Structure 1
Amino acid sequence: MEEEFNLKESLEGISTKLISWLDSLILNLPNFLLAILVFVIFVFLAKYIGQLLNKLLGKRVKQDSIRQITVKVSKAIVILIGFFIALGILDLNKVLTSVLAGAGVVGLAIGLALQGTLNNTFSGIILSFLPELQIGDWIETNSYAGEVTEINLRNIVVKQSDNNYVVIPNSKIVEEPFKNFSRTTRSRVMLNCGVGYSSNLEKVKEMTIETISEHFPSRGNEEVEFMFTEFGDSSINFVVRFWADATKNRDLLIARDIAIIEIKKTFDKNGINIPFPIRTIDFSNTLNMKKPD
């Protein structure tokens, strides 16, 4: 009998609780629907603001990565504002406080667990606003060389001259030095060569400078520099340094190719020899091969 009474009392308590919850749901239903409506409006508003910012920045900002990051951050901020306003409509101040406190704890835990990922993310933000590195530039870094095709919050994508893509983490770019060919329109090309020991060195120097100057005109205070560097095994070696239009490594290769062809033509025309590596063998024998008597 007592057990039946306790069961009946428990069922009544459960039903009373369910009824109170239902009453609260009915009373708060307008606020609940309004909160959902506000949040949905802010989601669409974030999308619209993102599109608007993308168009405005597309006309003024050349760097695609800056535009992408700005749009993503702006959309996230608008959605967060809508989320907090929705909680305020539901009169969930305690829940809001708990969410903020929990977000802090969770954020700390995630930050410790994802140090490498966050490092790449912050490095990506730095690279996006770095004028020395932009999409379309030809760079050399971390033993790779190629054209930058993408900069995002995790990595940059480099298209190499062999048409293959290399994905490099942002932190590697920030921490390691990189060479950017596209930041300057002119580059100095260095070409090494050698002439035979019987050559007229003054004539070699004059002809080389004249040939290079003809095909690669100097600008401003630029000049063609020629210097003999050493007495080699089979030739007297020199280096010639000149300026050429170059924004990528391929341009330097083309300039060096033209210079080699034209210098060879000039040397052949004037009888200047570019010797093969040679080795002189002395067959003289100072030993007495006769047997002693």
Structure 2
Amino acid sequence: MQDQINKSFNLLSEKLLSWFNAFVKNLPNLLIAIIVLVAFYYIAKYASKLVKRLISKRINQDSLVNIISKMTTIVVVAIGLFLALGVLNLSKTLETLIGAAGVSGLVIGLALQGTLSNTFAGIVLSFRKSIELGHWVETNGFSGEVVEISLKNFVVREADNNMVMIPNKNILENPVKNYSLTPKIRVSFNCGVGYESNLEFVEELTKKTIVNAFKGIEKEEDVEFYYQEFGGSSINFLCRFWIEGDKAIYKLRAINTAIIALKKAFDKNDINIPFPIRTLQFDNELTLDKNNVEKQPKEEKQ
């Protein structure tokens, strides 16, 4: 029994001694590996700040800038770790880590396929100059102001102040109408006048009224006027003109202003804007002949 204990103790001592010798032998490599890790730690901090400064000039989304800067830090630290493992002659461990990372990345990518597609779509949208924060857009059946472009959702504030969160991939896969890319908006509205109206005078009055109602319209030639049809109660026309603006709300305000001004002008000049009516016309006179009316028999009193 004593011999077995001594034998085990000797084996343990030899093992510890071999570990100590290996530690002393690899101590320079260990110091170099530590220096590499510390150096890459500070390099990662500097690289993160540099990337954040450069990207913030192109991207207005703070959350996205922070994510990209953190990803830069992770990449630089990972490079330092791999170099440190290489200095320690742990090539097999390095290969194992790379293989495990590849398999894990594949599994995670398959599991988070939708999330990753939204993430990459958010990055692409953040670099697009055609879609920026504050733009008024219409897409996927929604219309509003772009208030946020995150790594997951495209957030739009509608005219009724409701927030709509649309997945980023849907923005890339569907058409987007951006009202803020051009400095002007075309305004069009329809109206109708009575059949008894002087059509030439109506056209002239409409153009003059629009020019007087909007400062940006200098001459009557800038206002388009077209009669379209003989309607059931009126002769209908289309009026179009351009205004300064980059949001849909400006178009609504312009239509409101044009309708009010045109109604006042038509009322002042006795121009009728008919509403749907039905006229009943009787060409013959109805008469009642008392002699032809049959007399009803009177009830006999009992």
Alignment of 1:22-171 (within 5 A): 24=22, 35=33, 38-58=36-56, 61-65=57-61, 68=65, 71-171=69-169
Deviation of the 1:49 alpha carbon: 2.5
User: Structure 1 residues 48-57 or 170-179, which shifts more?
Assistant: 48-57
- The one-letter code sitting in structure 1 at the alignment partner of 2:114 is G
Mind listing any 5+ residue stretches in structure 1 that lack a counterpart? Answer: none
Conserved 8 A contact 1:192-1:238: yes
Structure 1 residues 28 and 136, CA gap change in structure 2 (3 angstroms): farther
Separation in structure 2 between the aligned mates of residue 231 and residue 285 of structure 1, nearest angstrom: 29
Instruction: Quote the residue 1:266 is aligned against.
Output: 265
Conserved 8 A contact 1:120-1:171: yes
Q: Secondary structure at the match of 1:145?
A: strand
Separation in structure 2 between the aligned mates of residue 24 and residue 287 of structure 1, nearest angstrom: 127
Conserved 8 A contact 2:211-2:218: no
TM-score where L is the length of structure 2: 0.79
User: Structure 1 residues 13-22 or 198-207, which shifts more?
Assistant: 13-22
Deviation digits for residues 11-54 of structure 1 (CA, Å, limit 9, x no counterpart): 87667556655665576567557645643553443233322333
Deviation of the 1:272 alpha carbon: 1.1
Deviation digits for residues 89-108 of structure 1 (CA, Å, limit 9, x no counterpart): 33211111122222222222
Deviation of the 1:6 alpha carbon: 7.7
Deviation digits for residues 214-264 of structure 1 (CA, Å, limit 9, x no counterpart): 3333489x8321112222222222111110112111111111111111111
Instruction: Quote the residue 2:173 is aligned against.
Output: 175
Task: Report the structure number with the largest CA radius of gyration.
Answer: 2
Runs of 4+ off more than 6 Å: 4-12, 284-291
Deviation of the 1:114 alpha carbon: 2.1
Work out the percentage of aligned pairs sharing the same amino acid. Answer: 50
Separation in structure 2 between the aligned mates of residue 33 and residue 273 of structure 1, nearest angstrom: 95
What is the CA RMSD across the aligned residues, in angstroms?
A: 3.4
Deviation digits for residues 165-203 of structure 1 (CA, Å, limit 9, x no counterpart): 221111100011111111111010111111122211111
1:185 paired with 2:183, answer yes
Q: Secondary structure at the match of 1:182?
A: coil
Structure 1 residues 107 and 279, CA gap change in structure 2 (3 angstroms): same
TM-score where L is the length of structure 1: 0.81
Conserved 8 A contact 1:63-1:135: no
- The one-letter code sitting in structure 2 at the alignment partner of 1:130 is R
